[in-house]
Amino acid sequence: MLDLLITNAALPDGRTGMAVAVQDAKIVEVAAGLHAQAAETIDAGGQLLTPPFCDPHFHMDATLSYGLPRVNESGTLLEGIAVWGELKPQLKADDMVQRALAYCDWAVARGLLAIRSHVDTSDPSLLPVEAMLEVKRRVAPYIDLQLVAFPQDGVLRTAGGEDNLRRALDLGVDVVGGIPHFERTMGEGAASVRLLCEIAAERGKLVDMHCDETDDPLSRHIETLAFECQRLGLQGRVNGSHCTSMHSMDNYYVSKLLPLIAESGVSVIANPLINITLQGRHDTYPKRRGMTRVPELLAAGVNVAFGHDCVMDPWYGMGSADMLEVAHMGLHVAQMTSRKGMLACFDAVTINAARVMHRRLRAGAGLRRQLRAAAGEGPDRGDPAARKPAEGLEEGAAGRADAGRGRRAELAGASRQRRLHDAGAFLTGAATRCEGAAARARAALRRPRNNRTA
What would you report as the CA-atom Rg of the chain, rounded to the nearest whole angstrom? 21
Is residue 225 within 8 Å of residue 238, measured between CB atoms?
yes
Is residue 319 within 8 Å of residue 311, measured between CB atoms?
yes
Is residue 43 within 8 Å of residue 7, measured between CB atoms?
yes
Active site includes 213? yes
- Determine the Cα–Cα distance for residues 216 and 275; give it in Å rounded to an integer: 14
> Running DSSP on this structure, what letter comes out for residue 69?
S
In the chain, the amino acid numbered 448 is P
Which of 213, 223, 228, 325 is catalytic? The answer is 213
Residue positions counted in the chain: 454
- Determine the Cα–Cα distance for residues 53 and 12; give it in Å rounded to an integer: 13
> For residue 389, what are the contacts with CB-CB under 8 A and spacing of at least 6?
12, 48, 342, 343, 346
Determine how many CB atoms are found less than 10 A away from the CB of residue 31.
Answer: 11
Is residue 119 within 8 Å of residue 60, measured between CB atoms?
yes
Pairing between β-strand 401-402 and β-strand 49-50 as defined by DSSP bridges:
parallel
Active-site residues, by number, are: 213
